[in-house]
């Protein structure tokens, strides 16, 4: 299966479609010609995250990284940056910065490396523990 994201005039993803491999092999115009859909469509890789292609059967980085493209699988509300040829998720918090290699947002403080769960507090720019009821 192939996945395509429709982007609007501001390069924001408005929808993502799954199409059969048979349809995809008809060329880039099949969405407009065969399905009658207008707009601008950009192929996206379902198994690509942070610029790395993951093997769908193991969810581990694949040996063959030639399928890793456009940095991230597109989602509604993501932006498409044609200079980077990348889909970028919306910025979650004002303090977070874009990692130019992965095109993912990073907090100014690393996520704690323990077994607890945390939530981001933008006011204090820190990770706060989440209370899990027993």
Q: Which is nearest to 4 in space by CA: 69, 97, 83? A: 69
Regarding pTM above 0.95, the answer is no
**With 60 as the cut, is the pLDDT of residue 103 above it?**
yes
Calculate ∠ Cα 40-73-95, nearest 5°. 105
Confidence class of residue 44 from pLDDT cuts 50, 70 and 90?
A: very high
Domain boundaries, the chain: 1-90, 91-134
Task: Give the model's pLDDT for residue 37.
Answer: 72
Confidence class of residue 26 from pLDDT cuts 50, 70 and 90?
A: low
Contact between residue 20 and residue 1 where contact means Cβ atoms under 8 Å apart: yes
Per-chain mean pLDDT for the chain: 90
């Amino acid at each position: 299966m192939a996945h395509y994201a429709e982007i609007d005039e501001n390069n924001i993803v408005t929808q993502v479609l799954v199409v059969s491999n048979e349809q995809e092999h008809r060329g880039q115009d099949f969405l407009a010609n065969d399905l009658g859909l207008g707009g601008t469509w950009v192929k996206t890789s379902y198994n690509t995250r942070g610029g790395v292609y993951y093997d769908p059967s193991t969810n581990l980085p694949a040996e063959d990284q030639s399928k890793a493209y456009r940095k991230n699988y597109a989602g509604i509300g993501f932006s498409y940056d044609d200079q980077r040829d990348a889909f970028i998720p919306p910025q979650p918090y004002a303090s977070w910065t874009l990692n130019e290699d992965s095109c993912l947002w990073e907090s100014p403080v690393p996520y704690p490396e323990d077994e607890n769960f945390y939530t981001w507090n933008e006011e204090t720019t820190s990770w706060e523990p989440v209370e899990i009821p027993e």
